[in-house]
Amino acid sequence: MDTSVITGLGYVLASGLFIFGLKMLGSPATARRGNMVSAAGMFVAIVVALMDQGIVDYTWIIGGMVAGGLVGAVAARAVAMTSMPEMVALFNGLGGSASLLVGWAALTPDAATFTLVTIVLSILIGGVTLTGSLIAYGKLSEIMGSGQIVFRGQQIVNSLVILGILGGAVMFTLEPTNANWLYMVIGLSLVFGVMVVIPIGGADMPVVISLLNSYSGLAACAAGFAIDNNVLIVAGSLVGASGIILTQIMCKAMNRSLTNVLFSGFASVSNEVTEIEGEIKPINAEDAYYILEAASSVAIIPGYGMAVAQAQHVVKELSNLLEANGAEVVFGIHPVAGRMPGHMNVLLAEADVPYDQLLEMDEINPRMDNVDVAIVIGANDVVNPAAREVESSPIYGMPVINVADARTVFVLKRSMASGFAGIENPLFYKENTRMLFGDAKESLGKLVTELSS
């Protein structure tokens, strides 16, 4: 058989395996096998690609694969689950850069206009993904400040960069032999990636990494057009679609449009102080223990603070003790709790919390009336009742977990500082709220000691 037929059929098989693997990701019971099916698809695609008759020298292929494989394997083993958002951000960037390089390398002197356009697209999307992801990585890992970076004239600079990219792209397709236009597009795409992500604050990072995830797929897709390879298009568009859906889910969970996240942030929050009635009622671990001991239904609402305090394992211990004491324990997970979609679920799964104990916001809210104690651990904005009650609040309309409906609410918090979004939280002043101040891990440790004695 002709090798091009084998190549074609191999890519069809690989695409089928990717699709089937993603389908199996639809349930936690089959997800792990689904990932292996997807990996098998990748293996088939790579083997087929290596049979390409245009390959005359395998030295650099093997070198690249060994180097990349080692780095990838070490990173995958070493990464802590709390750092998954950074890792995904970095991987988005690597995917983007690979597509940028492939698009660039696909440039031949006799390329058709359609190919030139797709080369420009893969360079543009790949470049934006690369530097945008590096900035997102820097913010998530706190190498750089996680706040918004805004400066006077930013819009003008952005407009000039966009005009430059457009101009460079047009000139490049008209005059592909002049490498300066190409370098201009590459350089400005890299600058644009930085400009897009710096004005976005840390609280919006779940949206940004979902979006960059999508871009990394779209970049691969564009590269597929540039080198006329259909498996890149299929795989790239699957990733692109995935990222877009996650982006939508995150935006919806914050009741904001994507444009709003990308271009304004919370910068325009009015400084008008809303009067909050009631007072803060602190509680100590011993009193909290008496209430918990009598509870028959407990809901735990984790947020990023749980990850920061590395408290997930002691949370699991507490949940075990409460269950041994006869209480029903569930976890309520808000879609934007943490720094990436599903972050809390992975942390709790690592701590051996079974996934059927983790409820989504829409599942837990109707049950909240029957909950004796809701324990909020390191979450703030996602449980803020102002989203339902205070029309002037910047988060008004955002769906939140209605912990205040529970009979008693414990809020584990380091101090009275506002949340990531810097918004006052009336929950802390509610009649049925008790504040358990201190490091979440220590506070939970005290509760565990009380319960197990």
Partner 1 sequence: MNGAEYLLFILMLSVFLGFELINKVPATLHTPLMSGANAISGITVVGAVALAGNGQGDLAQWLGAAAVALATINVIGGYLVTDRMLGFFKKREG
In 3-state terms the chain splits into helix, strand, coil percentages (rounded to 5) of 65, 5, 30
Cβ nearer to partner 1, comparing 217 with 394: 217
Alpha helical stretches, state H, 141-257: 154-174, 179-197, 205-226, 230-253
Query: What is each CA distance from 96 to 42, 61, 272, in whole angstroms?
Result: 18, 19, 42
Residue with tokens 């996680």: 146
Minimum CB distance to partner 1, residue 425 (Å): 24
176-185 core/surface letters (b: 16 or more CB in 10 A; e: else): beeeebbebb
Minimum CB distance to partner 1, residue 447 (Å): 22
Minimum CB distance to partner 1, residue 414 (Å): 25
> Which one, of 450, 3, 2, 10, lies nearest residue 230 by Cα?
10
Cβ nearer to partner 1, comparing 252 with 407: 252
Cβ nearer to partner 1, comparing 27 with 418: 27
Residue with tokens 């080198």: 227
Q: CA angle, 357 as apex, 354 and 360 as ends, to 5°?
A: 125
Cβ nearer to partner 1, comparing 225 with 266: 225
Give me the residues paired with residue 183 across strands.
none
Minimum CB distance to partner 1, residue 262 (Å): 19
- CB of 89 closer than 8 Å to CB of 133: yes
Q: Are strands 408-413 and 433-437 parallel, antiparallel or unpaired?
A: parallel
Cβ nearer to partner 1, comparing 6 with 269: 6
Cβ nearer to partner 1, comparing 210 with 402: 210
Q: Quick one: which H or E segment has residue 432?
A: none
275 DSSP assignment: P
Would you state the structure tokens that stand for residue 412, as one six-digit string? 């584990």
**Could you give the CA distance from residue 383 to residue 160 in angstroms, rounded to a whole number?**
41
**Could you give the CA distance from residue 359 to residue 256 in angstroms, rounded to a whole number?**
23
Minimum CB distance to partner 1, residue 120 (Å): 15
Would you state the structure tokens that stand for residue 422, as one six-digit string? 């810097």
With a CB cutoff of 8 Å and minimum separation 6, the contacts of 228 are 115
Minimum CB distance to partner 1, residue 163 (Å): 27
| Catalytic residue (one of 369, 381, 405, 439) | 381
Minimum CB distance to partner 1, residue 437 (Å): 30
- CB of 340 closer than 8 Å to CB of 84: yes
Burial class (CB in 10 A: 0-12, 13-18, 19+), 407: middle
- CB of 242 closer than 8 Å to CB of 361: no
Q: Is 381 a catalytic residue?
A: yes
Give me the residues paired with residue 412 across strands.
377, 436
- Positions annotated as catalytic residues are 381
